[in-house]
Structure 1
């Protein structure tokens, strides 16, 4: 995306584990309100203790009519979270990774986003052999949240 001259692309990583131009805290994004047309939030929210604050911030910095593409690991049923689980070993056991703090369900995350003012569309890429589209490999579900 950086090579496309017609867009202004901000790569960000809070912990600086990846090559990124910015280090934004998703619960306190250092940008003015209504800044971004598009946000890609791929495998982020399941790491964030205060996801309500993160969703408020995403809504704040997104322009009206803008969209956020969100993907996390999903499970059936309700969102599973338990704030008393803090050790990496227990997080791995309960949430599937040492630094996750919850596992969302598709409907649970959709409802949370709607509670923060977003309109949410679910998009599922059906399983196809050798199917990769813009970084999505089927079968995969993403949520598109629009302000």
Structure 2
């Protein structure tokens, strides 16, 4: 139902108008999901249930957050958002970006080179137009698997972080070794081999750790195995906490 309604609205309403009024439409749509069985920890809407999208992910009907967004917000507000921090967020989820912009104690900077996300800047992650040692916290969620020169991107993340700064990184993972092939270029081939039309590889946990350590990061890998419950969190999730030594 959610995908059908989304397609109908996108045909009737312009993308620009839809983006501008997204939260108005979502508020109307979310009325049908009001209840007390669940709650989104980002928009704080109490729900009878989450929406299941085409990828079988639990989506909040009000703010559009996914389970990984809600997990990330839980981590940020508990452990990683500090007063006067400068936070750099790459291709942010709209729900989380909207939430972070309301956090007055931080300097929040969102960026997206493609123009497909609601962002303040258009930094190239392989050549970030920010001075070295200026950012306290970087959010880099589901970005590196899109980047051909990922080692260059990692070195740039390290460069712009302040000493002891943190980058929170997540990608899709596979077992074994990193799977990549520069000869696979078409969207159809990339979908078949890497799981999405604009992905250029699938990382393994050990492979991503090795590449990040080559960029001088100190890595802590966090695994979350609890089942999706009240807040609709992802059942099996891996997050890299990367510290600038």
Same fold (TM over 0.5): yes
Aligned partners of 1:131 and 1:138 also within 8 Å: no
Any idea what SS the aligned residue of 1:34 has? coil
Aligned partners of 1:14 and 1:25 also within 8 Å: yes
Distance apart, 1:131 and its partner CA:
5.7
Could you give the per-residue CA deviations for residues 14-67 of structure 1, whole angstroms, max 9, x where no partner exists? Answer: 101011111111000010001111000000000000001101100100111011
Match of 2:210 in 1: 111
Distance apart, 1:124 and its partner CA:
1.0
Number of aligned positions between the proteins: 145
Q: Does 1:61 align with 2:160?
A: yes
Which has the larger share of strand? 1
TM-score by length of 2: 0.57
Aligned residue among 132, 138, 146 for 2:235? 138
Match of 2:220 in 1: 121
List runs of 5+ in structure 1 lacking aligned partners. none
Which has the larger share of helix? 2
Any idea what SS the aligned residue of 2:162 has? strand
When the two chains are superposed, the root-mean-square deviation of aligned CA atoms in Å is 1.3
Aligned residue among 178, 192, 212 for 1:79? 178
Bigger CA radius of gyration: 2
TM-score by length of 1: 0.95
- Where does structure 1 differ by over 4 angstroms across 4 or more consecutive aligned residues? none
Aligned partners of 2:228 and 2:234 also within 8 Å: no
Distance, in Å, in 1 between the alignment partners of 2:231 and 2:213 is 29
Structure of higher RCO (CA pairs closer than 8 Å, 6+ residues apart): 1
